[in-house]
Chains A and B, each alone.
Chain A
Amino acid sequence: MSALEARAVSKLYRAHDVEVLAVDALTLSVEAGEFVALIGPSGSGKTTMLALLAGLLLPDSGEVVIEGRSLNSLGKAGLAAFRLKQIGFTFQAHNLVPYLTVRENVELMLRLNGRLDRQGRARATELLTQLGLERRLNNLPSELSGGQQQRVAIARALVHEPSIVLADEPTASLDSERAHQVTAILAQLIHAQGRAGIMVTHDPRMCIYADRIVRLEDGRVTRVLTTREEIALFAQTG
């Protein structure tokens, strides 16, 4: 059983009299320990797909199944509780709570889950150390660089041991060097911890760290790259 499955999911946006089919009968599955890059041009449906996978949106048709459970059957509160336990999230911006320190931001996920105990604290510190932030534990987000903030977000996304990690353009605001650093760490931790990871990115160079590349256009999968050679070539040439 896959950790995450999208089964022919579709999402239609309606604004005034205009209808846009953002995701069109898309099917995708991700195994535990697999890191998938979702790429595509603007408006291709990447972010909408991520929202569907996270249960932030419900599909008009099809279903998303995580760990054998269909998100369609959960209400709003149930989806929030499900996200809290099963999903780790990093966003393009506004990732961190500005008045919490690095350590507190990571521990917040444990606190919200009711799992802030000695073990949880130790795991938070260990993750932050692995991410090279051991000297920044008591700093506020405003005292960190963009790359450091993204690394804190990665720690927060993993600290509660979710089955799925979703990353929305995690390198969008970073320079090339820091973007590579952040994506490499994210991929490494997803592999090491056996999570199912999906990263939405518009930067082909970051796909080098993925196990599979899924290219979307107009809400449909237009290309899937799975071999190291294909991935490496795509990362170089885009």
Chain B
Amino acid sequence: MRSLYLAVTEIARNKLRFVVVFLIVALITILVLFTAALGDGLAQSTSEYLDGLDASLLAFQSDVNYQIPASRLGRSRLNAIRRVPGVLAVGPIGVSSATIIAVDGVACKELSAALIGVEPRAPGSPPVLRGDPLANSRAADAVVDQHIVERLGLPIGATITLKVVQGMEEQHYNLRVVGATSGSKINFTPAIFVPLQRWDRIRPQEQVGGSGNEIIFNIVAVQLDGSVPSATVADEVMVQVAHVEMTDPVTAYKATQGYQDMQSTLSLQQGFVLVIVVLIIGSFFQIQTLQKVAQIGMLKAIGASSWTVVGALLFQIMLTLLVGLSVGLAAVWLLAQALPTGIPLVFSGGKIAVAIASILAAGPLAAMLAVRTILKIEPLRALGLSA
């Protein structure tokens, strides 16, 4: 309590000096939390669709390192996978890109989208928030991601025009929006879902109007019936179906080009910021300790223990971090409310807790140098002597 008293009184009587440090900690908190949120947001933008898939396993063409654009699968393999024991349902997924150029015939600001071909009601087909799901009987229907609905102000029933390059020509295709879904971004772009056959006609390809042969899609979403362990099913598929590699959706999106690089860059950035916290807090309190050498010597001479003085320092560091963190968290909350939608920021409780714990853990680290200085100050200094 003596330490807490000294710590709090010094802060209260030197508000301006400490407010500056509180603000620095608050700014660092904002930076750490935004970096964490950006990491999650970017990860989500990369993986949202795969992460939310109603499938336990994904089948890829072998030797493509789980890269969706490089994978090529056809109906024969899909059917072979369906026959493996433990498989409940399979759904083909084709992924390409397109650009929305008009709504109801009126040109709009061009918006890039992922064009995803799925089999209606099969794994991979999106659940709808509003409107109707896809149906094979309505080939020109589309279910679009909520981001697209919000960005373009699309009503259900609107017709969107897509621009796609096929061969050397720019082709335009009209789709009727019958439903809206959420959480379906893939590689940072929101998705437009269409039945697979329609997708095969629209997707960019060498000739206009589709391959004409067997539809080639990219991956197969596999639902299991639970009778056989997932790993066993995956192994069995790879034994029974040639040139197919199985994995789970998490491994698949983590293998997405650049995903690991992006996440490790952001983690490195967070690490650097935490090092900066240690250095700033450590320097501030070390300088303050050096300025108080005579005072600390006097306190020790009158009988205050070293641990009373060290305790005061630790309380000050933790109070500084707690106040700075609180201000930073409040600022992050306000900023998060004010930011426009579309910015890839996801504030998850777990990441926020880790960031807070890391910043608080930086306190004792930052204190080490100042603690060492305090322990070395001799009470003899109060008499102008040295040991």
Contacts and interface: CB of A to CB of B under 8 A. Distances in A.
Contacts of A81: 303, 305
Interface stretch (B6-14, B132-140, B336-344): B6-14
B149 interface: no
Given A83-B301, A84-B302, A56 B380 contact: yes
Contacts of B295: 94, 97-98
B288 to A, nearest CB: 11
Given A54-B301, A85-B303, A91 B2 contact: no
Interface string A42-63: 0000011011001011000000
B357 interface: no
Interface stretch (A32-40, A104-112, A128-136, A216-224): A104-112
Nearest to A112: B304
Contacts of B9: 99-100, 104
Given A56-B301, A80-B300, A92 B384 contact: yes
Contact of A57 (B13, B308, B380, B382): B380
A112 B2 contact: yes
A8 interface: no
Contact of A94 (B10, B305, B308, B382): B382
Most chain A CB atoms below 10 A, which of B294, B302, B304, B380:
B302
B383 A99 contact: no
Q: Bin the interface of chain A by size.
A: 20 to 34
Nearest to A100: B9
Contacts of A97: 6, 295, 298-299
Nearest to B294: A94
Query: SS class of chain B's interface: helix, strand, loop or mixed?
Result: helix
A100 B300 CA distance: 16
A84 B383 contact: no
B94 interface: no
A50 B299 contact: no
A100 B303 CA distance: 17
Contact of A112 (B294, B308, B385): B308
Interface residues of B, number: 26
Most chain B CB atoms below 10 A, which of A50, A81, A97:
A97
A80 B379 CA distance: 9
Interface in A69-102: 77, 80-85, 87, 89, 91-95, 97-100
A168 interface: yes
A104 B379 CA distance: 21
A140 interface: yes
B297 interface: yes
A111 B2 contact: yes
A168 B297 CA distance: 14
Contacts of A89: 301-302, 382
Contact of B383 (A77, A87, A91, A100): A91
B250 to A, nearest CB: 54
A99 B304 contact: no
Interface string B354-387: 0000000000000000000000001110111100
B308 to A, nearest CB: 7
A51 B297 CA distance: 13
Contacts of A168: 382-383
Interface string B2-23: 1001100110011000000000
A109 B302 contact: yes
Nearest to B297: A94
Most chain B CB atoms below 10 A, which of A91, A93, A94, A109:
A94
Nearest to B387: A57
Nearest to A89: B302
B332 to A, nearest CB: 32
B10 A99 contact: yes
A114 B14 CA distance: 26
Contacts of B299: 97
A152 to B, nearest CB: 13
A77 B301 contact: no
A91 B308 contact: no
A82 B14 CA distance: 32
Contacts of A104: 9
B46 to A, nearest CB: 52
Given A80-B300, A113-B303, 16 more contacts: A47-B383, A51-B385, A56-B382, A56-B383, A84-B302, A87-B303, A89-B301, A89-B302, A91-B382, A94-B298, A95-B298, A97-B6, A99-B9, A99-B14, A100-B9, A112-B304
19 contacts: A47-B385, A56-B380, A80-B303, A81-B305, A82-B303, A84-B302, A87-B302, A89-B301, A92-B383, A93-B294, A94-B382, A97-B295, A98-B295, A99-B13, A99-B14, A100-B13, A112-B303, A112-B308, A156-B302
- Smallest CB-CB A-B distances: 3 pairs: A84-B303, A94-B294, A83-B303
Interface of B: 2, 5-6, 9-10, 13-14, 294-295, 297-305, 308, 378-380, 382-385
